[in-house]
Amino acid sequence: MTKTKTALITGVTGQDGSYLAELLLGKGYHVHGIVRRNSDFTSKRIDHLLTRPDFVTSYGDVVDSSSLHSLLVEVKPVEIYHLAAQSHVGVSFQIPDYSAQVNALGTLRLLNAIKELKLDCRFYQASTSELFGGLPETAPQSESTPFTPRSPYAIGKLFSYWSVRNYREAYGLHASNGIFFNHESPRRGKNFVTKKISQAVARIKQGTQDNLRLGNLDAERDWGYAREYVEAMWLMLQQPQPNDLVVGTGVRTSVRRFTELCFAEIGIVLEWSGKGVSEVGRDKKTGKTLVSVDPVYFRATEADLLQADPRRANEKLKWKPKTDVAKLAQLMLRYDLAHEDYGFPDEA
């Protein structure tokens, strides 16, 4: 009889955590999710899983070593997916110390607990394209592109990246960094740019919002679909050897273009005029200003251009994303037209 595998997910209430939990449950794993204490429930993305006997959650926090240690002893996972983070780059400029506590030291705490407990498990760390810093001259970015992090978020994640490599080399842990480029979905947090745009466009269509204020329209990102990307996380832990791999689509799109794609879904063609903070996007038919620039969303330092060179991961994992950015904008917009909040069934 084969023994059921138990996987532990930190950040299970987040976008990726919820998709990963679904994927692993579908593969027959027992899934144990770590949930941090908040002033209210944050389980919207996993509510549909909470009644399953093979899905369990416990309170824990990656800034609390004792909770991590106790959970590892109790759960004895064979795979750990460490997704918990203060994941907002812009916000990390406002709470740099906390962002480092979570994004840098949180990983170290987990790695060290695994080492101390001599736990026989595989470890995935949610690394990020933000490590590259988005300098246009380095694009597209691969595993061999130098790291030039440009935010407290990215600097914390760089510490985590090297901690994973160090524990792998020093103690032989099967620990991997998934250097993932941006991935979005209807479950994306509402203060990330794609979801902010798709939700605003849906509300404009429904007459409950007037216009949309954005920051840097020129920033370019390599946007994929989160539901697909969690499979690459799992595949990384199925490899005989741990590795650090870049995962993305290889295609870059500006914030301005993503905005156009969403408006096109409701039949509006945007016409842009003005420059910098004076730039606006108007409805070509009516002339109404629908998009304007608000410097409050600018970052002190920006990653201008992130575009993956994902060839190594495609080859090693035999995996490629299927959803392009136009399809992604469409599925997010359609979801937001039908739902005011997360909830299920969603985009499937």
- Which among 76, 91, 174, 170 is positioned nearest to 125, based on CA atoms? 174
Q: Give the shortest CB-23-to-ligand G4F separation in angstroms.
A: 19
Hey, what amino acid is at 248? Answer: G
Residue 255 as a binder of ligand G4F (CB under 6 A): the answer is yes
With CB under 6 A as the contact rule, the residue among 31, 105, 202, 214 that binds ligand G4F is 214
Residues 128-157 that bind ligand G4F (CB under 6 A): 128-130
Residue 310 as a binder of ligand G4F (CB under 6 A): the answer is no
Can you tell me whether residue 176 is helix, strand or coil?
Answer: strand
With CB under 6 A as the contact rule, the residue among 189, 231, 301, 316 that binds ligand NAP is 189
Verify whether residue 130 is a known catalytic residue: yes
Query: What b-and-e string marks burial along 180-196, b requiring 16 or more CB atoms within 10 Å of the CB?
Result: bbbbbbbbbeeebbbbb
With CB under 6 A as the contact rule, the residue among 31, 62, 255, 332 that binds ligand NAP is 62
Can you tell me whether residue 340 is helix, strand or coil?
Answer: coil
The site partner of 62 among ligand NAP, ligand G4F, none (C-beta below 5 to 8 Å per kind) is ligand NAP
DSSP 4: P
With CB under 6 A as the contact rule, the residue among 90, 133, 140, 152 that binds ligand G4F is 90
- Which among 56, 49, 60 is positioned nearest to 83, based on CA atoms? 60
Residue 160 as a binder of ligand NAP (CB under 6 A): the answer is no
Q: How far apart are CA 252 and CA 142, in angstroms?
A: 14
Segment interacting with ligand NAP, rule: CB under 6 A, options 31-39, 197-205, 209-217, 249-257: 31-39
Verify whether residue 279 is a known catalytic residue: no
With CB under 6 A as the contact rule, the residue among 8, 23, 78, 126 that binds ligand NAP is 126
Residue 215 as a binder of ligand G4F (CB under 6 A): the answer is yes
Catalytic residue, chosen from 22, 130, 260, 265, is 130
Residues contacting residue 82 through CB under 8 Å, at least 6 positions apart: 10, 11, 62, 106, 107, 110, 123, 124, 125, 126
Verify whether residue 51 is a known catalytic residue: no
Residue 297 as a binder of ligand G4F (CB under 6 A): the answer is yes
Q: In this structure, what token pair is assigned to residue 156?
A: 């914390």
Q: Tell me the residue length of the chain.
A: 348
Segment interacting with ligand NAP, rule: CB under 6 A, options 32-40, 135-143, 251-259, 327-335: 32-40
State which residue, 1 or 300, has the beta carbon closest to ligand G4F.
Answer: 300
Q: In this structure, what token pair is assigned to residue 41?
A: 């429930």
Residues 37-76 that bind ligand G4F (CB under 6 A): none
- List phi, psi (to 5°) of 142: -120, -175
Q: How far apart are CA 151 and CA 3, in angstroms?
A: 43
Return the residue matching tokens 């791999």.
Answer: 245
Residue 186 as a binder of ligand G4F (CB under 6 A): the answer is no
State which residue, 86 or 176, has the beta carbon closest to ligand NAP.
Answer: 86
Q: In this structure, what token pair is assigned to residue 216?
A: 């840097």
Q: In this structure, what token pair is assigned to residue 204?
A: 């404009």
Q: Is 279 exposed, middle or buried (0-12, 13-18, 19+ CB in 10 A)?
A: middle
The site partner of 155 among ligand NAP, ligand G4F, none (C-beta below 5 to 8 Å per kind) is none
* Site for ligand G4F, rule CB under 6 A: 87, 89-90, 128-130, 181-182, 191-193, 196, 214-216, 219, 221, 255, 297, 299, 302, 306
* Site for ligand NAP, rule CB under 6 A: 10-11, 13-17, 34, 36, 38, 42, 61-63, 83-87, 102, 126, 128, 180, 182-183, 189
Which are the catalytic amino acids? 128, 130, 153
